[in-house]
Amino acid sequence: MTIETLIQEAQGTSEEILDKVIRYLKFLKKETAEGNASEPEGQKRRPYGIYRGQIKMSEDFDAPLDDFKEYM
Q: Identify whether the C-beta of residue 57 lies closer than 8 Å to the C-beta of residue 51.
A: no
Helix and strand numbers (H, E) in the chain are 2, 0
Model-level pTM? Answer: 0.43
Dihedral class, residue 69 (left if φ above 0, else alpha if ψ from -120 to 50, else beta): alpha
With beta carbons less than 8 A apart as the criterion, state whether 31 and 25 touch: no
- Identify the pLDDT of residue 32: 81
Q: Residue 47 — pLDDT band, cuts 50, 70, 90?
A: confident
Rounded-to-integer distance, Cα 17 and Cα 6, Å = 13
Q: What is the pLDDT of residues 2-46, one digit of tens each?
A: 889 988 988 999 999 999 999 999 998 888 876 654 556 667 778
CA distance 72 to 59: 21
